Amino acid sequence: MSGIIAIVGRPNVGKSALFNRIAGRRIAIVHDMPGVTRDRVTAEAEWRGRPFTLVDTGGIGLLRGEKVEDVIINAALEQVEMALQAADCIILVVNVQEGVVPLDREVAQRLHRSGKPVLVAVNKVDNYKSEAGVTEFTELGFKQIFPVTAIHGRGIEMLMNKAASHLPDASAEDNNTGDAPYNLSEAAAAAEVEAQAEAEAGDTPPKRLPRPTGPLKLAIVGRPNVGKSSIINALTQSERVIVSPIPGTTRDAVDVPFEVVTEGVHQKYVLIDTAGLRKSRRVDNTVEFFSVKRTEESIERADIVVLVLDAESGIIEQDKKVADLIVTARKGCIVVINKWDLMSDAVRTAREEEIARRKSANRRYREGQAEPMTTLAEFGSWVQEKLFFLDYAPVIFTSAKTGFQLDRLLEAVRYVAAQLQQKVPTGILNRTLNDAIERRQPVSATGHFLKFYYATQVRLAPPTFLLFVNRDELFSPQYMKHLAGDLRTAFGYEGCPIVLVPKARPKTIDPVRKFNDRAKSPRQAPVRSDGAKPDSPRQDSRRSQRPTYEQNDGRKPFRQNKVTGGQGRPRQAGDKPFQQSTRKRPFVKLKKRLSGKARAAARVSAR
């Protein structure tokens, strides 16, 4: 089992900067404003081949006995206490530029009571002059003090070498450390090279590839204050993330490992708690700007995105914008209507009134009056109608407060994950697409007809199909949605976006006739079989060139011979080519039909 290293300290001393430096990537938000980090931000890292879990905590900003009514500050202190209890090694971060302050002494006293090994990281030692103030922190009572610079990476190696020595040895029996991340894109890349499966395109049912090892990443996104953090705490049955009625409580993207046992099978998940997304024009500070960027990155690296909506406020414009981010990223999606406990009583009352109305004599509604929605199926259809561009996502009604239908949420996650691993045989895929295209042709302004040749599945997550057609410009977004609907009817793919990539067949190139260009390819004399030269070879190959009026080679330009009865063809005579011949063939006018001997005698006399 990998160890845990916790980074603690008072606010605004560089804990998040040190966390990002050790982790090797930008995870926690770094800002000059104190109190930016609130939740416990974790990251899996390794040092010199030793894996461990790195934990970033919020700043301890209260002295002993000091009390505040701020819910977020009290919750952040509770998160720090949880990190200290679970840590194997603690790194206390202080600021050399400010020296030892009372809050540093308060944090040091807490760490002395914990009994854990503590390493003091004196941050912001940017030059040799600042190293003189490192000895001041010996009064905190810790022997191991390391001057570091989190921004530039100075002194990190010595600090981590000592911290790694306090970690427990990795157990060889633990098989979780070798699990690769559950990345559906990597599984899709392995499926692309299955040429043998493509050949076996018979009437066999769609195959499902074996589930790759590692946790499934679920990003919980939505507007502020819709209950994202509450759902994570309800699923994990713990106070893992901070929950408060104040919008914008969560700032960082917090990864929460989660494991469920279903029918004796251990299923691992990583729940990603994200900050709420407001309208872009309302983002008025840099901290919220970075929070929005962390949320967008979480959507990109997640396997399935859970879109959380508020049942009390309904679907508003910002919900559709968040849904558009999911569609653009081409991620599997599940729509969750949270806070259903606030609407359950009103829905139950409306249902009872509807049943009583149906039993009465007046069963019909007036013209133009809509029937009330009283069942979850009717509400689900209404949600899919509002989110028409995300109508393939299943809709789950839950309540994080009461735990209503949270088990159905996990069932939907397992179902969508299985749909993302589905591999469609090529034969069945081609027959389905061929029938769909024959039933409905795309609209063409030029009157062209779409011809479908072949299709194959090239990726699993998202399901991507490559279509070979005659004209790819005929595929409009509306027609692609129509074909995607036919594929969903045939193969399911509930909660999965379907990507169709049309590829036009290369157009036939018109053959180019190769004329015998005498100027570039002079005519050669025939070669006899005995190797001798012909009797009258051409002495000059340039004689075959026909001079034009632009040429000034001293030769007479080409002219046509005018012959009675029509135009004649150009002639060559003697040693002067392209010149009109002086000999003229006499014309014999026959008055009557002559016999064969007479015609022969006439030809002889004409010569």
Amino acid at the residue 344: S
At position 512, the amino acid (one-letter code) is: V
Q: Cite the residue boundaries of each domain of the chain with CATH code 3.40.50.300.
A: 3-165, 212-362+372-420
Q: Residue 442 contacts by C-beta under 8 Å, 6 or more apart in sequence?
A: 450, 474, 475, 476, 479
The rounded Cα 224 to chain-centroid distance in angstroms is 24
Total number of residues shown for the chain = 607
Task: Name the percent of the chain lying above pLDDT 90.
Answer: 45
User: What number of helices (H) and strands (E) belong to the chain?
Assistant: 15, 19
pLDDT of amino acid 182 = 46
Give CA–CA dist 419/470, Å, rounded: 30
The Cα 605–Cα 601 span in angstroms is 6
529, two tokens: 């079989």
Cβ atoms of residues 227 and 308 within 8 Å: yes
Q: Are strands 499-504 and 464-469 parallel, antiparallel or unpaired?
A: parallel
The owner of tokens 């990864």 is: 255
Task: Indicate the range of 65-79, 555-569, 588-602 predicted with least confidence.
Answer: 555-569
Where are the domain boundaries for CATH 3.30.300.20 in the chain? 423-504
Does the CA dihedral 404-405-407-413 come out positive or negative?
Answer: negative
Widest Cα–Cα separation across the chain: 145
d(CA 209, CA 203) in angstroms, rounded, equals: 18
Q: What is the pLDDT of residue 605?
A: 78
Spatial separation of the C-alpha atoms in residues 556 and 460, rounded to whole Å: 76
SS3 94: strand
How many Cβ atoms from other residues are within 10 Å of residue 133's Cβ?
A: 18
DSSP codes of every residue in 235-257: HHTS--S---SSTT---S-EEEE
Spatial separation of the C-alpha atoms in residues 271 and 257, rounded to whole Å: 6
Which pLDDT value is given to residue 169? 77
* Mean pLDDT taken over the chain: 80
Angle formed by the axes of helices 71-86 and 102-114, to 10°? Answer: 40
pLDDT of residue 530: 52
Beta strand pairing status for 562-563 and 566-567?
Answer: antiparallel
Q: Give pLDDT, residue 565.
A: 47
pLDDT of residue 395: 94
Q: Taking a C-beta distance cutoff of 8 angstroms, is the pair 457, 181 a contact?
A: no
Instruction: Check pLDDT > 70 for residue 529.
Output: no
Inform me whether the pLDDT recorded for 557 exceeds 70. Answer: no
Mean pLDDT of 323-328: 94
Q: What one-character-per-residue DSSP string does 356-421 give?
A: HHHHSS--PPPTTPPPPP-SHHHHHHHHHHHTGGGTTS-EEE-BTTTTBTHHHHHHHHHHHHHHHT
Q: What pLDDT shows up at residue 526?
A: 54
- The pLDDT of residue 377 is 86
Are 252 and 28 within 8 A, CB to CB? yes
Please tell me the CATH superfamily of domain 3-165, with its number. Answer: P-loop containing nucleotide triphosphate hydrolases (3.40.50.300)
pLDDT value for 584: 56
Closest CA to 495 of 381, 394, 407, 423: 394
Q: Do the bridges between strand 332-338 and strand 395-397 make them parallel or antiparallel, or are there none, so unpaired?
A: parallel
Amino acid at 74: N
What end-to-end distance do the CA atoms of the chain give, in Å? 117
439 contacts 406 by C-beta, under 8 angstroms: no
Between these two residues, 211 and 309, which has the higher pLDDT value? 309
**What confidence score (pLDDT) does residue 533 get?**
52
Q: Give the pLDDT mean for 324-339.
A: 94
Minimum mean pLDDT among 124-138, 232-246, 555-569: which range?
A: 555-569
In angstroms, the CA 297 to CA 393 distance is: 21
Q: Which helix (H) or strand (E) holds 86?
A: helix 71-86
Query: CATH top-level class for 212-362+372-420?
Result: alpha beta
Asked whether the predicted pLDDT for residue 272 surpasses 70, the reply is: yes
Which pLDDT value is given to residue 447?
83
pLDDT of 345: 81
What tens digit of pLDDT does each residue of 53-103 get? 999 999 988 877 788 888 888 889 999 999 999 999 999 999 999 989 999
CB-based contact 335:383 (threshold 8 Å):
yes
Q: What is the pLDDT of residues 174-195, one digit of tens each?
A: 444 444 444 544 444 444 434 3
pLDDT of residue 534: 53
pLDDT, residue 211, reads: 47
Range in 219-228, 436-445, 502-511 the model is least confident about: 502-511
pLDDT of residue 570 exceeding 60: no
User: Domain 423-504 belongs to what topology?
Assistant: GMP Synthetase; Chain A, domain 3 (3.30.300)
Segment (H or E) for 5: strand 3-8
Q: How far is CA 277 from the centre of its chain?
A: 20
Per-residue pLDDT, averaged over 116-135, amounts to 89
Q: Higher model confidence: residue 311 or residue 513?
A: 311
Task: Report whether 254 contacts 39 (CB < 8 A).
Answer: yes
**Residue 350 confidence class, pLDDT cut points 50, 70, 90:** confident
Q: Which of 411, 409, 53 is nearest to 234 (CA)?
A: 409
Cα–Cα nearest to 384, from 315, 465, 461: 315
For 31-53, what is each residue's pLDDT tens digit? 888 888 989 999 999 998 899 99
Q: Which residues of 203-219 are buried (b: 16+ CB within 10 A; e: fewer)?
A: eeeeeeeeebebbbbbb
591: alpha, beta or left? (left if phi > 0; alpha if psi -120 to 50): alpha
